[in-house]
Amino acid sequence: MSKQSCFPSLPQFTGQNAPSRLQCDLSDLDVEGTLPPALEGTWYRCGPDPQHPPMFDDDLYVNGDGMMSAFRFYQGRVDYRSRYVQTEKYRAERKVGHALFGRYRNPFTDDASVQGVDRGTANTTAFWHAGKLFALKEDSLPYVIDADTLATHGRHTFGDTLRSQTVTAHPKVDPVTGEWIFFGYEASGLASRDVAFCVANAEGALIREDWFKVPFASFQHDFAVTRDYVVFPVCPTIADLDRMKAGGAHWEWDASQPTYVAIVPRQGSIDGIRWFKGPACNVFHVVNGFNEGTTVYVDLCVSKRNAFPGIADVSGAPFNPEEGAPFLTRWTFNLAADGETFESRVLSPLPGELPRIDDRHAFEATGAVFYGALDIERSQLVAGPQGLGANTLARLDARTGALQTLYLDNHTTFQEPQFVPAGDATDEGYLLVVVDHHDAGNGSVLVLDAAQIDAPPIARIRLPMRLRDAFHGTWVPQAVRNAPVALF
């Protein structure tokens, strides 16, 4: 495969999705309005941004190199910094000036010179735990990132105690114990059925690693944790080693297979696992989980098939956007009853993804959910890995069903929102969200009242450039960072 001299003219590489490759420092961004005093801290974000044109034109959006960014809020001012995560893959390709790694999660399509090199991209989630900043990607180990400079310190192995080869990009932090709860799928290698359920204590030391097998090697992007249980959706987006060896895709959608759900007690042996089964569906992101005794509730985004247009159907059926539309849904499991069925109920009529809550109330009954939604009656713009961007910001009260929406105009899309508490003694807070201005080719950050997102913004932070869609971020208060207030 000869190296590409420019990015393909395809939706995943053009317009809002065009690679930015911008590593920069910006101080004192323009702020319209007044930033609340409670906004003292750093909003870290991580997403894919390929540094070189891909080896294959049909490369997936999610295969880009990890770009870590930081908005530092202090004394009513905002600074911005972005840096690539210096993974082994990034360094190898940087050295030669072109792509060496092939299809998404398929090492059999790589250049011979990088066989055996860690191909993880660290491009999915910015995560904070035990005083450290991490860049996460579910097919590899975390990378430790300097919280001030965003320099890469290297891979994190939990002191060489972790046996799993992978760590999820969707960890959960117990707001009571401070534990880092995570898992790794394909834990023993490509297309393996092994899953490792793991816990690190509040200081970051690994204290649990239990393995179990799933019915097939599934795209287990997220999971749920409650006060007493851990829930693993196993949906039929399936990996096949022979297909990869033949140069094919890591994942394909197979609707002939059911969806399985494993529920594991948080305390006790992994042998207490309980399996449930339902119709084929796809789950990317989990909102929250909670339990009332032996009744377990999981709120999550569910679609009828894998929502990525670039993941093919094994039957050869073309991608159907309606089947790929995810809806906020509640699954209910009765562990006191026999059988393998569970209940499913849609919570919101407006499809969408990238849900966030007030993380201080994780594992409690779900309250407000903030997410990027798609109103099909409005403008539809290309942004992000699923094709159409979120043209609407939504706030769902999961207790009452009340829905608030914010639609700005026909030229904007929203990235993942971030809830920021207004203080320790209140449930009030603010919502930060990056807005993509497709007509102007730049972006901004809105600061909204989290209780009333459809009210006029409290403040708007203007950016002089476009921000390629990141995936997931985290807010770290200044008091938690215990570092100098200024970014530079």
User: CA-CA distance, 393 to 432, in Å (whole number)?
Assistant: 11
DSSP 162: -
Count Cα atoms within 13 angstroms, Cβ side, for 150. Answer: 24
The two three-digit tokens of residue 356, written as one number: 């966030």
* Residues ≥6 apart with Cβ < 8 Å to 292: none
**Phi, psi (rounded to 5 degrees) for 141:** -90, 160
Q: Which of 363, 360, 355 is nearest to 426 (CA)?
A: 360
* Residues ≥6 apart with Cβ < 8 Å to 157: 141
225: left (phi over 0), alpha (psi -120 to 50) or beta: beta
DSSP 398: T
The sign one gets for the Cα dihedral 210, 211, 215, 221 is: positive
Helix (H) or strand (E) holding 252: strand 251-253
The sign one gets for the Cα dihedral 402, 426, 472, 206 is: negative
**Type of residue at 28:** D
Q: Is residue 221 marked as binding?
A: yes
> Is 342 within 8 Å of 275 (Cβ atoms)?
no
227: left (phi over 0), alpha (psi -120 to 50) or beta: alpha
Q: Find the DSSP H helices in 410-465.
A: none
* Residues ≥6 apart with Cβ < 8 Å to 155: 118, 140, 141, 142, 143, 144
Binding residues: 170, 221, 285, 472
Binding residues for Fe cation: 170, 221, 285, 472
